[in-house]
Amino acid sequence: MKHGHPLPREIAPGVFWIGGCLTQKFKGREYHGYNAAFMVAGSTASMLIETGHPKDFPAVEDHIKKVLASGVAPLKHIFITHQETPHSGGLGRILDKYPDLTIWGDVSDYHLAFPEHAGLLRFMKEGDEIDLGDRKLVAVEPVIRDLRTTWWGFDTKSGTLFPGDGFAYSHYHWDGHCGLVAEEATSLDLADASSVFAERALYWTTMVDMNIYVDRLEALMKRLGVKVVAPTHGLPVTDLAATFPKIRVGLIAGEGANDSVAPGLVATV
């Protein structure tokens, strides 16, 4: 079996990939799906994006310590795309270790789980910015969302988009894809791997005209000047020109799989 790349890994200047994999079986094969978190290091503050899956907290904690030990600015903020276990399930443990973090995003309901941390919650709307010194994290439109409360993030310095469940796809552990960026995983069939998440996690994508969403996604990336894509469930994309056409095919592949829904229906999610 081939070996991947160890984490944490710097995928863009000041952007570090941390977290771990989740094993899942689909159509008789075993896939790995990333439950990633990321750290963005600015000149005055660092930010954690997502919490990682609860099962991966020991690895996430270790990765955070290693990034901070490299000399980056102190960890002061956390941005969470939405309230689902792989994205926010580690929040309590994170706050136990870093109790002074400010929590950003659509923070609905977090006060119910963590009333003692209610004063740390900051609601964001589209265009709101978190200042890290020489860079900002901006809340942007979540074109392909999982929950109503989803927000995506964009790092202004590196041009990195953090799309949560957007760009979600599995990878092949047996081919050593763990820890690789998408362009390094040369044996990965993106259309096939994307279908795993389309059916299991984003089933609404099988009932709509996904061309509408993908066109909107392309327009968003062009407007922002996205250079790198860092999904929570998928290998980071560092060469959009080479990789996005494949991802586009994967995002559209499951369209119309549910024949009970009229073609062209647009989901209201």
pLDDT of residue 269: 33
Span 19-37, pLDDT tens digits: 877 777 766 777 777 789 9
Which CATH code of 3.40.630.30, 3.60.15.10, 2.40.40.20, 3.30.930.10 fits the domain covering 9-202+225-239?
A: 3.60.15.10
Helix (H, G, I), strand (E, B) or coil at 162: strand
Q: What is the pTM of this model?
A: 0.87
Query: Mean pLDDT in runs of 10 for the chain (269 residues)?
Result: 78 94 71 84 98 90 97 98 88 94 96 94 98 98 89 98 82 70 78 64 73 91 96 89 83 56 35
Write down the domain spans for the chain: 9-202+225-239
Query: How far is residue 24's CA from residue 45's CA, in Å, rounded to a whole number?
Result: 36
* CB burial readout 5-23, b (16+ within 10 A) else e: eebbbebbebbbbbbbbbe
